[in-house]
Amino acid sequence: MYKFANRMGEVSSSAVREIFKAMADPEMISFGGGSPANESFPIDEIKGITDKLLSENGHQILQYGITEGWKPLKEAYLKHIVHPKGIKGTVENVIVTTGASQGIHLLADAFLEPGDVVLVESPTFLGVFSTFNKYFVKSVPVEMDEHGLVMEDLEAKIKEHNPKMIYTIPTFQNPTGRTLPLERRKKVAELASQFNVIVLEDDPYCDLRYSGEVLPAIKTFDQTGHVVLLNSFAKIISPGLRVGTVLAEAEIIQKLTVAKQGADTHTATLTQAICAEFLEQGLLPDHLKKINAMYAEKLHTMITSIEKYFPEGTKFTKPEGGLFIWVELPGEPDVLALFERATSESKVAFVPGIHFCKNPDDGIKHLRLNFSSSTPEKIEEGIKKLGELFTKDFEER
Ligand SMILES: Cc1ncc(COP(=O)(O)O)c(C=O)c1O
């Protein structure tokens, strides 16, 4: 009856809706989401900050703001997040977005035409497929190994497809937890420059590091303005605030500003101001220390539980940060059937790997496990239940 636009076609597949439905069951132990832990939110600090902001500057904060974003937030983001990482930029290089998700949309608005090619990691963040599908672009998967994007395949695919954009999550990748090493980061920036391709560096997890050495962003090596860096406050403060940032050449930011004007005029000033004040009061380092210690324990519990309960021959990533572990089951498992049984019989949810892949073979034996949303006790209990199911299934095959 309704004549919906073609672009809505692939936006939300029924499989993904099933996963979300399963996760909404209160009895479910959910390793399926990607949310930060409820107990990670700095509620008292945000209460105090909100009170201060409204008392001191309520009229300005509750009025319409400018599309580019709340200037004190852009300044605080540069001072506390960008410059300490050795990345250059001024307020002209930043636009505040309604989450990193909007940053991806605005970049698609600015750069992508129907038929364009975007190179994506295989597997990659589920959310980008729905964004890119809306623009009728072709997402072409690039091979990954245990360290992330494979440079030879990236270069070959650039030459073969002449892409407009490379979308990458270089640090604690969603869904694999993999991190791109230094030399490959330099190489991505070099290839972007050499072949005139935009790199969308989506880096929401970089500050959730529990061990290992900090690595510079790909943006650090950008000599020619081809790299666009997306950051988000979703995972380091709160996703409900809906605040993210794009750092790019001023010319790109101007185009994104035009696109954002038509999308939502500006991101809520109150939540932008909360993030700015959080940074300016110097609260972020201690907050990160606290939440990273909590996540480190959850990650450790999940790793040791997988080792203990999953069938022999299971392979999985051991990330140094982020929120996800990527598991490959032994043999020829039917992961979609296992998902059905896990959610209905064992009451444990995960996301089958195939949903993250343009090339289904890359995720057919895989699943993504999120460790941030459950307590260590629930993590052990859930992994034990999954392990029993997977082991039985493996032995019966
Ligand atoms: C790689 C990646 N990019 C972007 C997002 C969305 O971030 P935001 O909540 O800031 O829109 C997520 C959320 O899970 C993500 O994993």
The string of DSSP codes covering 191-252 is HHHHHT-EEEEE-TTTT-B-SS-----GGGG-SSS-EEEEEESTTTT-GGG--EEEE--HHH
pLDDT surpasses 90 at 376: yes
Distance 336 CA to ligand 1 centre (A): 24
Distance 101 CA to ligand 1 centre (A): 6
Using DSSP, state whether 136 is helix, strand or coil.
coil
Give the rounded distance of the alpha carbon of 166 from its chain centre.
15
Distance 100 CA to ligand 1 centre (A): 6
* 104-131: pLDDT as tens digits: 999 999 999 999 999 999 999 999 988 9
Query: pLDDT grade, residue 65 (50/70/90)?
Result: very high
Number of residues in the chain: 397
What's residue 22's pLDDT? 79
pLDDT surpasses 70 at 311: yes
For residues 32 and 349, the answer to whether their CB atoms sit within 8 Å is: yes
Mean pLDDT of the region 60-69: 98
Ligand 1, residue 244: give the atom nearest the CA: 10
Rounded to an integer, what distance in angstroms lies between the CA atom of residue 321 and that of residue 179?
A: 9
Q: What Rg value do the Cα atoms of the chain yield, rounded?
A: 21
> Which one of 104, 125, 168, 169 would you pick to mutate in the ligand 1 pocket, going by the greatest count of ligand atoms within 8 A of its CB?
125
Distance 332 CA to ligand 1 centre (A): 31
For residues 348 and 31, the answer to whether their CB atoms sit within 8 Å is: yes
Compute the mean pLDDT over every residue in the chain, rounded to the nearest whole number: 96
- Which is nearest to 275 in space by CA: 75, 94, 90? 75
For the ranges 21-25, 51-55, 65-69, 216-220, the lowest mean pLDDT is seen at: 21-25
Rounded to an integer, what distance in angstroms lies between the CA atom of residue 156 and that of residue 129?
A: 22
Query: pLDDT grade, residue 10 (50/70/90)?
Result: low
What are the C-alpha distances in Å from 32 to residues 24, 145, 189, 342, 365?
10, 23, 33, 11, 16
Domains of the chain: 6-41+286-396 (3.90.1150.10), 59-283 (3.40.640.10)
In the DSSP assignment, the letter for residue 321 is B
What's residue 7's pLDDT? 83
Rounded to an integer, what distance in angstroms lies between the CA atom of residue 37 and that of residue 296?
A: 12
> Which one of 174, 229, 233, 275 would you pick to mutate in the ligand 1 pocket, going by the greatest count of ligand atoms within 8 A of its CB?
174
Tell me if 123 CB under 6 Å of ligand 1: no
For residues 178 and 148, the answer to whether their CB atoms sit within 8 Å is: yes
Tell me if 99 CB under 6 Å of ligand 1: yes
Distance 106 CA to ligand 1 centre (A): 14
pLDDT surpasses 50 at 331: yes
Strands (E), the chain: 29-30, 94-97, 117-121, 138-142, 144-145, 148-149, 165-168, 198-202, 227-232, 244-247, 315-316, 324-328, 348-349, 351-352, 366-370
Ligand 1, residue 125: give the atom nearest the CA: 1
Contacts of 182 (CB under 8 A, 6+ apart): 215, 216
Rounded to an integer, what distance in angstroms lies between the CA atom of residue 240 and that of residue 237?
A: 9
